[in-house]
Amino acid sequence: MRVLVTGGAGFIGSHLVERLLERGDEVFVVDNLSTGTLDNLAAVRDHPSLHLNVDTILNHPMMHETVGKVDLVIHLAAAVGVRKIIEAPVETITTNVRGTEIILDCCAAHGTPLFVASTSEIYGKAGDRLHEEHDRVMGPSTHRRWAYACTKVLDEFLALAYHHERGLPVIIGRFFNTVGPRQAGQWGMVVPRFVERALADKPIEVYGTGTQRRCFCHVEDTVRAVEGLVACDTAWGEVFNIGHESEISIRGLAERVRELAGSRSEIVTVPYEVAYGEGFEDMERRQPDTSKIRGFIGWEPRYDLDDIIRSTIDFMRA
């Protein structure tokens, strides 16, 4: 197949690109390197079947031409990360809404099937065992954090509208926290941030009380889910949660990272207002119900939390 991966120089994108090349696909990448980096693609940079274009998905004529060359689009490019969303809300909203609109327009013009990456953030403050039809609970528009969730919800609505009105084959994957080698901590991602501090024996900063609970999925499991879904005839037009169901508190995560890294770091708590400024809101739990994807393609995560932490430690040490 010929596949376009937008955001292919990013964390999840680079793992997906490697997997597609490994199975013999011709892969096109469009990435503006805003949070991605060419280092992520170092292992495949010279692969004859990789076509890398450092450009923005907001370049409509270029996207139209590129989508015309492929059989499938996997759309991962987005402004990602809580810190990024708070610091650059205009860029976030523009990239995530206008960018996806351009890609949907190009896919509809060429009749090209599309996988759209969404996020567990769209559930907002709705708690545990979140199934795909669960109600969403959003905070106010004055809290910038919710902008990311709202842009992704709009992406979902628009993608489903293209499916219903124009017959465009789309799949929406809602990623819950995905972690592993190459994830950068600078935009607020918790596991690489904790590992970085633990390896330096510096204080590990837990934002809020640390009792908030999260689930973590290894990037290789996420990539396998995407690969399985786009190969499944009945998955088109559907929305899927993609994540690990086991939960851990953020303080528990900090302790596990410290232990596995053999670190002497102290664990300290930092109030949300200090970490992110006034008006930041977080949710106590965010746990997926993944029975739908299991039913469609038999997908189960293969890696547990210790595997995830160890692979991040190994990557950061290297």
Ligand X SMILES: NC(=O)c1ccc[n+]([C@@H]2O[C@H](COP(=O)([O-])OP(=O)(O)OC[C@H]3O[C@@H](n4cnc5c(N)ncnc54)[C@H](O)[C@@H]3O)[C@@H](O)[C@H]2O)c1
By annotation, the residues acting in catalysis are 148
Q: How far apart are CA 278 and CA 285, in angstroms?
A: 21
Three-state SS string over 79-142 comes to: CCCHHHHHHCHHHHHHHHHHHHHHHHHHHHHHCCCEEEEEEHHHHECCCCCECCCCCCECCCCC
Amino acid sitting at position 225:
A
Q: Are 57 and 102 in contact (CB under 8 A)?
A: yes
Number of C-beta neighbours around residue 18 at 10 A: 18
Is residue 119 involved in binding ligand X (CB under 6 A)?
yes
Using the minimum distance from each CB to ligand X, give the nearer residue, 13 or 124.
13
56 binds ligand X (CB under 6 A): yes
* Residue 240 sits in the site that holds ligand X (CB under 6 A): no
Q: Does 31 bind ligand X (CB under 6 A)?
A: yes
Among 4, 73, 74, 77, binds ligand X (CB under 6 A): 77
Q: Which is nearer to ligand X, 7 or 139 (CB)?
A: 7
Residue 30 near ligand X by CB under 6 A: yes
Question: Which of positions 172-201 make contact with ligand X (CB under 6 A)?
Answer: 175, 177-178
Relative orientation angle of helices 190-199 and 305-317, to the nearest 10 degrees: 60
124 near ligand X, rule: CB under 6 A: no
Exactly one of 66, 99, 190, 263 binds ligand X (CB under 6 A); that residue is 99
The candidate with the shortest Cα–Cα distance to 161, out of 209, 210, 116, 104, is 104
Contact region with ligand X (CB under 6 A), list: 27-35, 64-72, 133-141, 203-211? 27-35
Tally helices (H) and strands (E) across the chain: 12, 13
- Does residue 33 touch ligand X according to CB under 6 A? yes
Q: Is residue 311 involved in binding ligand X (CB under 6 A)?
A: no
Contact between 117 and ligand X by CB under 6 A: the answer reads yes
Least distance from ligand X to the Cβ atom of residue 117, Å: 4
d(CA 21, CA 16): 9
> Does 169 contact ligand X by CB under 6 A?
no
Q: Single out the residue of 12, 104, 150, 168 in contact with ligand X (rule: CB under 6 A).
A: 12
DSSP readout, 30-67?
Answer: EE--SS--GGGGTTTTT-TTEEEEE--TT-HHHHHHHH
Cα–Cα distance between 147 and 90 in angstroms, integer? Answer: 10
Under the binding rule (CB under 6 A), the answer on residue 95 touching ligand X is: yes
- Closer to ligand X by Cβ: residue 106 or 263: 106
Q: Which residues bind ligand X (CB under 6 A)?
A: 7, 9-13, 30-36, 56-58, 76-80, 95, 99, 117, 119, 175, 177-178
